[in-house]
Amino acid sequence: MRPAYEAAVQMADGSWSHWCLVLSGPYGCGKTHLAYAAANYRWNEGSAFRMISAPGLMQQLKNSIDEKRLSIETHAPMAYGPEDWAKVYGETTALLILDDFGAQQDTEWATAQLFGILNARYDRSLPTFLTTNLSVKQMDPRIESRIAKGLVVCNGPDQRVRFG
C-alpha cells in the first residue's frame, strides 16, 4: 500500500502529477481510509474538497429529479435538478473525492451521469480522487482511457478483518 499512500499524500497536497488518482483494489485494504486522510489534510489546510460516495452521488442526482419537478409544480423557488448537480460536481475546482466508484447501481443513466462528471473534470484537469473495487477491465472504456495515468493498484490484506 506504500505507493497508494504516497499518491494520496500527493493528491491531498496538490503535487500529484495527473488530474486524477484512482485507487483500485480489494475490499478493506485501506483505499477509503486514504481518501478520508486526504480529505482531513485538505480540511486542516483550509483547502476546498468535496467527498461523496458514488452511490450517494447517484442518489442525490435521482432525488433532485423529484425535487425539481415538485418545485415546478408548486411554483416554489427552482430546485437543483440532476443536470445542475452534475455541473456542480463536474466544474468545481475543489478536489472531488468519489468513494466506492463502481458500487452505484449500474444503469445507462448512472453511467452517463458519472461519465459526464468525470469527463468534465478531465477536460478541465480538475483534481479528482476515486476509490474503487473495480479492475480497469471492468470500467467503461471511455472512463478507463481518461484515468489510466492516475491508476494505482492497491494490494493488501483486509484491514477490517485484521483489526475487527
Residue 68 pLDDT exceeds 70: no
Q: Where are the domains of the chain?
A: 1-13+68-156
Q: Can you tell me the mean pLDDT for 64-68?
A: 72
Residue 10 pLDDT exceeds 90: yes
DSSP 130: E
Tell me what the pLDDT averaged over the chain comes to: 86
Report pLDDT for 35.
95
What's phi and psi for 92, nearest 5 deg?
-65, 135
Provide the pairing of β-strand 95-101 with 49-53.
parallel
Report pLDDT for 140.
82
Neighbours of 12 (CB within 10 A): 26
pLDDT category of residue 66 using cuts at 50, 70 and 90 = confident
Residue 162 pLDDT exceeds 80: no
Report pLDDT for 159.
72
Report pLDDT for 9.
95
Report pLDDT for 21.
95
Report pLDDT for 86.
80
Of residues 10 and 87, the one with the higher pLDDT is 10
Based on its alpha-carbon atoms, the radius of gyration of the chain, rounded to whole angstroms, reads 16
* Residue % of the chain over a pLDDT of 70: 88
The CA distance from 74 to 71, in Å, is 5
Of residues 71 and 115, the one with the higher pLDDT is 115
Closest CA to 98 of 57, 146, 40: 57
Report pLDDT for 28.
84
Report pLDDT for 137.
83
